Each structure stands twice: as C-alpha cells, then as structure tokens.
Amino acid sequence: MELFDLSAALEGILFASGEPVRMDRLCVALGVDRKALGLIAGQLADHYKFERRGIRLVTLDDSLQLVTAPEHADLIRKTLETRKPPPLSPSALEAVSVVAYFQPVTRAYVDGVRGIDSAYTMSSLMEKDLIEECGRLDAPGRPILYRTTQTFLRTFGLSSLDDLPPLPDADGQMTLETQG
C-alpha cells in the first residue's frame, strides 16, 4: 500500500473503533512494522493539528485513538446535549494522584499518604473508571493493588504516565524523578 492509503486505512480503523486500538493489532492489519506505524500515525496526527481539524490522533501507552479536539468540547457537549461531568472533589484528586504517581498501590497505602480512610473515594474513582484493580500484594491478607486506567490518561490529557508533572519535594522544589 502507498503511504496515503495506509494513512487513510489507519484513520478508518480508528474511526470505526471509537476506542483505543493496540499498535500491534494495527501493525498486523496494515502489514507494517512498528516504526512505519509510528511514522504514519505521527504524520496523521500532525495533519489534524496543522489543519486545525475537529479530531486528534492520540497515543495512549501502546494504543492509538481518534478523539475530538479539546477546543471544540463545549460545542460538542452543547450539540449532543450531554452534561459536563462534575469535577473531581479535592479528596478524589488527591487519591487518584497518589495512585498515579506510586502505582500499583493498596488502599492502605493511599490511606497512609492521605491520612484518612479512602474507601469511599477509591470506590468512586473505580466507578468513574479512573482506577482499576491490577492484582494483589504478596503480603498477609493479600490486599488489592490499584493502578490508573486509559480513561485516566484521556481524562487528564496524558499520553502516558511519563507525562505527569514532577512531584515537588519537601521544600516545594520540583524533582526530576518520582518514586515507584
């Protein structure tokens, strides 16, 4: 296939899916290697951005997805008569931040960092699909481990967890590394 045809096929697959599509599946479908897919996706993403189109191509960890351009969110919401989801409460933001920076974590870890019981908040974050269970800790009681989801990345406009801003240290200075 020609580059234009590959780009058009990628666009069609992602549009039809409506969900993130893993890059390995796209490589098989398009008959290209990972490097070629990256070039095609990059050119397509640049095209949407340069042309100021109503959609964007985003990379989410190991997947690609077509999404609406954020600058059109209010018009889309108004047109489709959907309500903007209520903002996260300060406690929910605090809890999801702990999970995002230190994942995988147990609820007890989140409780310890926050200094308060996080059961309700963690359950609320799971209902919103911002965090998910990802196994159990090999410790007495085998507590559940939590991590952030693809929905978390999309909600906060991140391509991966590497895009999280650095954490401030005890003096309020930004550090270059987070602890895992």
pLDDT in tens, 36-60: 999 999 999 999 999 999 999 998 8
* 3-class secondary structure, 155: helix
Q: What is the mean pLDDT of the chain?
A: 88
- How far is Cα 143 from Cα 87, in angstroms, rounded to an integer? 29
Residue whose C-alpha is closest to residue 57's, from 3, 13, 2: 13
Top pLDDT among 92 and 2 is at 92
Task: Write down the pLDDT at residue 72.
Answer: 86
CATH 1.10.10.10 positions along the chain are 3-73, 90-163
Task: Write down the pLDDT at residue 83.
Answer: 58
Task: Write down the pLDDT at residue 172.
Answer: 56
Give the pLDDT mean for 85-108: 91
- CB contact set of 137 (below 8 Å; sequence gap of 6+): 106, 143, 144, 145
Which pTM does this prediction carry?
0.57
CATH ID of 90-163, from 3.30.465.10, 3.30.365.10, 1.10.10.10, 3.50.50.60: 1.10.10.10
Percent of the chain predicted with pLDDT > 70: 91
Give the pLDDT mean for 102-112: 95
- Answer yes or no: is pLDDT of 179 > 50: no
The CATH T-level fold of domain 3-73 is Arc Repressor Mutant, subunit A (1.10.10)
Terminal CA-to-CA distance of the chain, rounded, Å?
Answer: 43
- Answer yes or no: is pLDDT of 113 > 90: yes
pLDDT in tens, 115-170: 999 999 999 999 999 999 999 999 899 999 999 999 898 888 888 899 899 988 75
